[in-house]
Structure 1
Amino acid sequence: MAIFNLIYLSCGIVGLLLLAYKIRALRSSWGSPRVVALISTVFFSAFAVFFAAPANITWINWTTGVPNFAALLVYSLVVCFAGAAFTLVLYWRYPPVQAWHRVRLIVVSYATVVAAMIVLFFKSELDEERQVDFDTYYATQPTVAVFLFIYFVATGIGCGGQAYHCWQGSRDPAISARPWLARGLRWYCAAALFPMAFAVIKLFVLLMDWAGERSFDVLSLTAPLMASLSMIPLVIAMALPVLGPRRPSPSLWVRRWRTYFALRPLHRALVHVNPGIVLVAPGKFLNPHHRVRRQIIELNDWRWALTPYFDLSVGEAASSLAHQASLPTDEVTAVVEAAQLRAARSSSARSRPAKRRPISEIVDGTDLAAEHDRWVRISRAYQHSPIVDAAVADFVRAEAAGGKQ
């Protein structure tokens, strides 16, 4: 019993947490049929699994004073879940008006099944409480046999319809263009396969019991555990379309850290210009996207602060040497900018009046990747380019010679 309680209660609590999250997240869209179907699906599945725990079965039977009443409650919730899940995928695949013609039939059919189950349950002789083997123990009682038969068939049809439409929907060209949504539908398909397999196994055991073959009864005891595990793919299915697109790509995460460390030497070299703007938001220290974004903001700010101290001769010298070395255009621009920054940050350059302007103004790019690449080229040129060294060395010598005259 302990393992049954652990599995059912764990999966049930996960389902209830998912239900609370969905109600909160979708509270502004309660008028939508799709939202109602989604909330209903989670509600019925969560409570069906939660109440199926043997500890809760004992409490329900004791509270109601009706032996085996928990079986009626849990089985009705499972049937409602199957109908709600079937309804949900129809609303996903078709416009609301078109889907309603099919949904109306499902609602009427499954409401009729639950009503029939209630009547058959109270017409049956169920005096002995059976927490685990209710199906096999009462399988040969005619009213219970019909009760179980319509329960298994309705569950299998509903979950089978859910699996079919989810799989077909994931292959639809319009949905395939949104990979996280397509993956979510495949997980919904997987979630439906668990209770569908449960219904098929239970129905097979029921037919064997009718035939007098009891050697398969052990399958009936393990099948509900399989159905309860459907809560795991259901949670994944609901999380993927929402959280998947927000999940940073591992390769992008690595690239951002590489960009961060490529910019770090230049960032440290210029931080003295205005150290007060350096910021790492709380909780973002290990977030490379935030760290690189802040580096770019701060480098741009320091660059504009140093712009009045750029020297025309430094830019011309760096540009001439870069063209002589046959560097590509973007590398020429990076070398000129690095040389200007290197010369402007020196104390001698900033001690004179800020009169001269740079050769050209660099306009902040709207393409984030291009902005990253531009600053990485500048950072590397600042550290390693012999052209930058030569241009700045000429500038320093000229400044020194001018100071002596």
Structure 2
Amino acid sequence: MNGDLVFFLSGGMLLLACLLKLPALVRARGRDWLLSSICALLLVGACVLFLTAPSTIVLLRQATGITNIAVPLIYVMLTAFSGASIVLVLNWRGAADVAQTRRLSRITIAVYGTCCALIAILFTLGNAPVEQRTRFDTYYATTPFIREMIVLYLVAHAAASMTAGRLCWRWSHEVHGTLRIGLRVLAAGYLMHYAGYDPSVAGAVAARWAGHDGDFLIDVARAATAPSAVLVAIGFIVPLAGPRSEEAVRYWQLAPLTKAVRLVKDAPGPAPLPIPWWKRNLHLRLTQRQTYISDRIMTCRSHFDTRVSNEARAAALAGNASEEAAAIIAEAAMIAAAVDLYCATNGEAPALPPASPDQRTSYTGDLADIARALRSPIVKDSCRRARMERAGV
């Protein structure tokens, strides 16, 4: 069972990822081809890992009466998975020439479909009477037809892994955010396939052809199987979860600023309702929170004091902050002081100095950046000095 554990755990992770996406797939009702394709790949990947476990190989032999029947099943499913990965990445990326993408997809499907059929035919023509749970490739490396089946599978798998990996890596230079992260994780997963798994198995088979024992390389290949499959699964899932997770993070990041402007009572619009981040209408709640903050900041715009902004910016620059960071801190200090002054005067027009040419009446920074800057000691010091000036201290 110890030899099975890593495959069952890794397969379970892929199956869990597929199940987590199942509600979204049901809601899409087949209209989201990308989500459908990724769920199918996750399910196939989980099945491959379950089949690779030594105990599963024994169960299949007992159930079918065919020795080593799990091997062609694994080879066919992995080959299909490899071809489907290329097709998915091609269509996921899209291209100006849609006809070319479709043509390449059809060619890939035809080539890998043929490989799957040939694997099944070669296994039927060959003879593999001795059960091999972990050393099939080297034990039958010189057996007619089985030898060709192994070579065909390795070539198809390596070519697909290299192609999909290169496509993902090149595309990752053109995008940002969670899509870039997902593509680079995918590239790493495919790299483990064609730079780790495939050369190890090929080296072990070649050693057997030369009359040497290279079985230790099979252990290296098996060690790379589960991690690479998990990386590929994560790489596909991250971009799908990305927009939702980014919205959740942003909703959480805006909490300090929401709390700071809540004291402004006369602004239009209702207060945002507290809801769990995983709710389906998170996008609407995020929009509501941003609108709530913006309305209250604009209500206080007549209380903006350029002196507070300039002093905070100078203090930030003196503390070796960058120009961009100093500008954000200055805006956060100005907004915090304006809210404080608005509440102190009950919304009445403040007795500020005459407006200068650079008098601020709005803000330009991102709300999430401003919310983070509220924690800066410079912002707190600016508000404290403003309150002391009003009190005549």
- How high is the TM-score relative to the length of structure 1? 0.67
> Which stretch of the first structure deviates more once superposed, 130-139 or 32-41?
32-41
Q: CA shift at 1:22, angstroms?
A: 3.8
Q: CA shift at 1:336, angstroms?
A: 8.5
Query: 2 CA distance for matches of 1:237 and 1:106?
Result: 21
Contact 1:365/1:371 (CA < 8 Å) preserved in 2?
no
Query: 2 CA distance for matches of 1:72 and 1:107?
Result: 19
Please name the residue that 2:193 is paired with.
Answer: 195
Please name the residue that 1:13 is paired with.
Answer: 12
CA deviations on 1:34-78 (whole Å, 9 max, x unpaired) are 555434432322211121111211111111111111111111111
Correspondence list, 1:4-403, <5 A: 4-27=3-26, 28=28, 30=30, 34-35=34-35, 37-95=37-95, 96-171=98-173, 175-176=174-175, 178-196=176-194, 197-214=196-213, 216-247=214-245, 263=260, 267=263, 281=274, 341-342=343-344, 344=346, 358=349, 369=367, 385-390=387-392
Unmatched tracts of structure 2, length 5 or more = 278-284, 312-330, 352-360
Query: 2 CA distance for matches of 1:123 and 1:335?
Result: 82
Contact 2:166/2:187 (CA < 8 Å) preserved in 1?
yes
Q: Which amino acid aligns with 1:195?
A: H
Q: Which amino acid aligns with 1:181?
A: L
Say what the alpha-carbon RMSD is for the aligned residues.
Answer: 4.8
Given the superposition, is the C-alpha separation of residues 195 and 335 from structure 1 closer, same or farther in structure 2, using an over 3 Å criterion?
closer
CA deviations on 1:341-377 (whole Å, 9 max, x unpaired) are 43659xxxxxxxxxxx7579xx99898739978xx78
Q: Which amino acid aligns with 1:72?
A: P
Given the superposition, is the C-alpha separation of residues 181 and 67 from structure 1 closer, same or farther in structure 2, using an over 3 Å criterion?
same
Given the superposition, is the C-alpha separation of residues 341 and 281 from structure 1 closer, same or farther in structure 2, using an over 3 Å criterion?
closer
Q: CA shift at 1:255, angstroms?
A: 7.6
CA deviations on 1:174-202 (whole Å, 9 max, x unpaired) are x33x3322222111111112222312221
Query: 2 CA distance for matches of 1:194 and 1:327?
Result: 52
Secondary structure of 1:60's counterpart equals helix
Secondary structure of 2:77's counterpart equals helix
Q: CA shift at 1:212, angstroms?
A: 1.1
Q: Flag the structure with larger Rg.
A: 1
Q: Which amino acid aligns with 1:184?
A: G
Given the superposition, is the C-alpha separation of residues 366 and 54 from structure 1 closer, same or farther in structure 2, using an over 3 Å criterion?
same
Given the superposition, is the C-alpha separation of residues 209 and 246 from structure 1 closer, same or farther in structure 2, using an over 3 Å criterion?
same
- How high is the TM-score relative to the length of structure 2? 0.69
Q: CA shift at 1:256, angstroms?
A: 5.7
Query: 2 CA distance for matches of 1:25 and 1:60?
Result: 33
Contact 1:183/1:237 (CA < 8 Å) preserved in 2?
yes
Please name the residue that 1:354 is paired with.
Answer: none
Q: Which amino acid aligns with 2:234?
A: I
Q: Which amino acid aligns with 2:205?
A: L
Q: CA shift at 1:244, angstroms?
A: 3.9
Given the superposition, is the C-alpha separation of residues 99 and 31 from structure 1 closer, same or farther in structure 2, using an over 3 Å criterion?
farther
CA deviations on 1:138-186 (whole Å, 9 max, x unpaired) are 2121121111111111111111111111112122xxx33x332222211
Unmatched tracts of structure 1, length 5 or more = 305-314, 346-356, 394-405
Query: 1 CA distance for matches of 2:384 and 2:185?
Result: 51
Secondary structure of 1:6's counterpart equals helix
> In percent, how many aligned pairs have the same letter?
21
CA deviations on 1:92-114 (whole Å, 9 max, x unpaired) are 34444321211212212212111
Given the superposition, is the C-alpha separation of residues 112 and 328 from structure 1 closer, same or farther in structure 2, using an over 3 Å criterion?
closer
Structure whose residues are more often helix by fraction: 1
Contact 1:337/1:378 (CA < 8 Å) preserved in 2?
no
Q: CA shift at 1:334, angstroms?
A: 8.3
Number of positions where the alignment pairs a residue of Structure 1 with one of Structure 2: 342
Q: Which amino acid aligns with 1:342?
A: A
Q: Which amino acid aligns with 1:194?
A: M
Secondary structure of 1:131's counterpart equals coil
Query: 1 CA distance for matches of 2:338 and 2:113?
Result: 77
Query: 1 CA distance for matches of 2:151 and 2:130?
Result: 21
Query: 2 CA distance for matches of 1:122 and 1:247?
Result: 48
Q: CA shift at 1:87, angstroms?
A: 1.4
Secondary structure of 2:133's counterpart equals coil
Query: 2 CA distance for matches of 1:370 and 1:358?
Result: 28
> Which stretch of the first structure deviates more once superposed, 91-100 or 9-18?
91-100
